[in-house]
């Protein structure tokens, strides 16, 4: 058994909504977790899913398949147990009910039973290696903190959660249309975002290099992989995936939802962030002058956002602007604010652990904020 100190940071997810007169207790109750595992957790469905037909009921199936899958349990007091394996749904269910893990993570299918890895290590043969794993994607709402003003961290409301919906639409469409995957599961991460599990056989058997290539296909940001503020759109014309994402999803969402909901151009502090994206200082200065002149105009914030955005598009896309960089600038602004922000390392490595669907743990307990909004600790 190994022990690791889990992240003790307190991440709260906040969702605005009516009917919040009754506060839910703030403290996590392990007894409720036992009830959940005993009556609600879908042990059989989890076993059926992760067996992929290798459940012993069909001729020629690999009866060892599920038993070579790694499960990781985080127990009370942050006791972390890796390389758990189970040969049947009964073993899986009994272990979960007995240990009552506060969190469950799922790893790859290994070449040998992960619980017996030490025996193979002593033989001197390097036979303990991951051989299958779903292609997975992880998107956290906290990575959008530089483009949303309603919430920060794991807090989320109806004005910023649609960023997750947009990410799902963009990635899911590409996985199906560009890569030909069909068996795709999107789930709430249980913390502050969404997880994607691509379960096709050809996806599960991808090498690390192939997984990295697919992840890189979606990556459009400059600098290191943790930077989401600078977009680098390739070529003079968007290639088909990006063009489709822009015209069918991102542009409409930015103009109809994000721009007015976040008031991106309603104040000097916020519109300066957008003006900084314009490479021509004279153009940015002209827009700044116009917007400072009309800040006293009797317009609603919605109208101000619309008017200023139309002014920006008109200047950057007019015939006077011959530089392709300025014409591309409108697209780069939209991409910077709306394009999916993936945790690249999760997708690139076959042996990466990912929180199990239907996993409920202490940071998913509900409570209330001082402002009276529903709070989900995840």
Please, which residues have CB within 8 angstroms of residue 362's CB and are 6 or more apart in sequence?
Answer: 28, 102, 377
Which residues are catalytically annotated?
Answer: 70, 138, 140
HSE-CB at 258 with a 13 A cutoff on CA atoms is 26
User: Minimal CA–CA distance to 260: which of 169, 162, 154?
Assistant: 162
Q: Report yes or no: 103 and 359 within 8 Å, Cβ to Cβ.
A: yes
User: What b/e readout covers 347-371, taking b as 16+ CB neighbours within 10 angstroms?
Assistant: bbbbebbbbbbbbbbbbbbeeeeee
Using CA atoms in the order 108, 111, 115, 119, what is the torsion angle rounded to 10 degrees? -150
**Helices H / strands E in the chain, number of each:** 15, 11
Rounded Cα distance between 170 and 167, Å, is 5
Whether the CB-CB separation of 319 and 327 falls below 8 Å is answered with no
Non-local CB neighbours of 260 within 8 Å, separated by 6+ positions: 301, 302, 305, 306
Beta strand pairing status for 130-132 and 135-140? unpaired
């Amino acid at each position: 058994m190994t022990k690791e100190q889990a992240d003790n940071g307190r991440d709260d997810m906040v969702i605005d909504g009516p009917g919040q007169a009754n506060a839910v207790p703030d403290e996590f109750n392990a007894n409720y977790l036992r009830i959940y595992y005993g009556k609600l957790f879908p042990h059989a469905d989890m076993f059926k899913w992760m067996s992929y037909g290798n459940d012993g009921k069909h001729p020629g199936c690999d009866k060892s398949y599920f038993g070579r899958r790694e499960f990781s349990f985080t127990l009370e007091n942050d006791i972390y147990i890796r390389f758990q394996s189970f040969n049947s749904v009964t073993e899986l269910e009994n272990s979960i009910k007995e240990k009552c893990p506060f969190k469950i993570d799922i790893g790859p299918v290994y070449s040998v039973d992960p619980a017996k890895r030490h025996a193979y290590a002593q033989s001197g043969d390097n036979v303990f290696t991951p051989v299958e794993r779903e292609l997975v994607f992880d998107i956290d709402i906290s990575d959008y903190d530089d483009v949303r003003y309603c919430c920060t961290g794991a807090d989320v409301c109806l004005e910023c959660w649609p960023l997750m919906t947009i990410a799902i639409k963009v990635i899911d469409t590409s996985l199906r249309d560009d890569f030909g995957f069909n068996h795709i599961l999107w789930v709430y991460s249980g913390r502050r975002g969404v997880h994607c599990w691509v379960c096709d056989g050809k996806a599960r058997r991808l090498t690390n290099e192939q997984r990295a290539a697919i992840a890189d296909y979606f990556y459009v940001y400059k600098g290191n992989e943790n930077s989401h503020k600078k977009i680098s759109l390739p070529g003079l014309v968007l290639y088909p995936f990006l063009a489709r994402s822009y015209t069918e999803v991102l542009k409409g969402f930015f103009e109809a939802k994000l721009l007015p909901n976040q008031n991106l151009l309603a104040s000097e502090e916020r519109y300066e962030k957008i003006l900084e994206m314009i490479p021509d200082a004279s153009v940015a200065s002209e827009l700044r002058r116009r917007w400072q002149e009309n800040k006293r105009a009797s317009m609603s914030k919605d109208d101000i956002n619309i008017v200023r955005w139309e002014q920006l598009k008109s200047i950057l896309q007019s015939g006077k602007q011959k530089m392709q960089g300025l014409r591309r600038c409108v697209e780069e602004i939209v991409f910077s604010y709306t394009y999916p922000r993936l945790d690249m390392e999760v997708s690139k490595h076959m042996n990466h652990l990912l929180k199990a669907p239907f996993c409920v743990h202490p940071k998913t307990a509900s409570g209330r904020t001082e402002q009276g909004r529903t709070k989900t600790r995840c």
